[in-house]
Amino acid sequence: MALQYLTHIDLKKNELRNAVIEVSANAPSSPAEGQIYYDSTAGDKSIHVYNGSAWVSVGGDITGVLGGTGLSGGGTGGTVTLNIADSGVTAASYGSSTAIPVIAVNAQGQITSASTATISTDLTIAADSGSNDDVTLGTDTLTFSGTANEIETAVSNNEITIGLVTNPTVSGNLIVSGNLTVSGTTTTVNTEEINLADNIIKLNSNLDSGTAPSQNAGIEIERGSSDDVLLQWNETDDDWEFQAYNHAGTPVLTTYKIPTTFTATIGDGSATSIAVAHNLGSKNVIVQLFHIDTDETVYADVVRTNTNTVTVSFTAAPAASKIQVLISKVG
């Protein structure tokens, strides 16, 4: 019967001679980490140690080394050597500036054949016009050229940039299939004829819909050595006006209002002097009056107060809205 020790045995660094550890065909039950035993099972015959979770064998021998696919040599004892079998590929350097290597590799990663394939060193280039040309790689320089006053090119960091020059000039006809937006301050058209499909030309289009208008707008005609003339909307008077030479002995460039006629109904039963603002911009006006009820012409004193107003005076105040005033500008 084995003696049981309930405490550790400390040999004080002395040898334990002729000792045999536990021999068993079965691993001890409920082992403690670090516990050992000798497995006597046929085919094992080795020491096992418990690592805290499983029994691990600490013995074992290599009984032989065999050469696998592509290897030769090996042995069952002593020092053995493995040799890589010749693949049949000639030892050499494959590939050049005009040929690329063609290599076959088997499943073991061995090169089983090696050869070269000739590569073309000429690059054929073509364009919309001109004949095709060849560029010899490694010898020739392929140059991307722009067009004077139209296209410019630049090269940097292995990139070629192609774009318009800062102030391009396009020779020949230019067709824009989409919308054309000009963001500058001046657009100059040096042509003899302008054809527009649009039936309305909008001026002052950059005025926001929530902003009150303050600038006149119209069309000015360049007349060389003579004074320019224009047709415009006068924003101050809220009228159309144009410039032309009057028919005086010495014609003078004059601004005329459009329209050239004006009509109003006057009379309030009390006023005998009534100012009528016609805003025709001239004192050269003809004033006629007629009575609303009878359609007959009536007469009164008329004074052209200024270029935009006439004053009509009566002996007796006309009844309310009974006199129709007709004003026509002349010249």
Q: In the chain, where are the structural domains located?
A: 23-57, 216-258, 261-329
Q: If you compute the radius of gyration of the chain from its CA atoms, what whole number of angstroms results?
A: 57
What pLDDT is attached to residue 43? 76
Nearest alpha carbon to residue 242 among 274, 220, 211: 220
| Torsion (CA) 230, 232, 234, 240 in degrees, nearest 10 | 110
Q: How does the average pLDDT of the chain come out, rounded?
A: 89
What pLDDT is recorded for position 60? 64
CA atoms within 13 A on the CB side of 305: 14
Which tokens in the block code for residue 187? 């657009």
User: Is the pLDDT confidence value at 206 over 90?
Assistant: no
- Asked if residues 269 and 316 have their Cβ atoms less than 8 Å apart, the reply is no
322 within 8 A of 292, measured Cβ to Cβ: yes
Candidate from 84-88, 185-189, 281-285 with smallest mean pLDDT = 84-88
Task: Give the pLDDT mean for 257-276.
Answer: 92
pTM to 2 decimal places: 0.43
Instruction: List pLDDT tens digits, range 100-136.
Output: 999 999 888 888 899 999 888 888 999 888 999 998 8
Q: Please give the average per-residue pLDDT across 266-286, as a whole number.
A: 93
pLDDT at residue 283 tops 80: yes
From residue 301, how far is each of 281, 288, 310, 311, 315 by CA, in Å? 21, 11, 10, 8, 9
Main-chain phi, psi angles of 151, to 5 degrees? -120, 140
Nearest to 146 by CA among 173, 113, 169: 169
| Confidence band of 263 (pLDDT split at 50, 70, 90) | very high
**pLDDT reported for residue 321:** 96
Nearest-10 Cα torsion for 235, 241, 242, 244: -120
pLDDT above 70 as % of the chain: 98
Residues 294, 316: Cα–Cα separation, whole Å = 18
Residue 2 — pLDDT band, cuts 50, 70, 90?
confident
Cα–Cα distance between 33 and 50 in angstroms, integer?
5
**10 vs 259, residue with greater confidence:** 10
128-187 per-position pLDDT tens digit: 889 999 988 878 898 999 988 999 999 999 999 999 999 898 888 889 999 999 888 888
Mean pLDDT of 41-53: 88
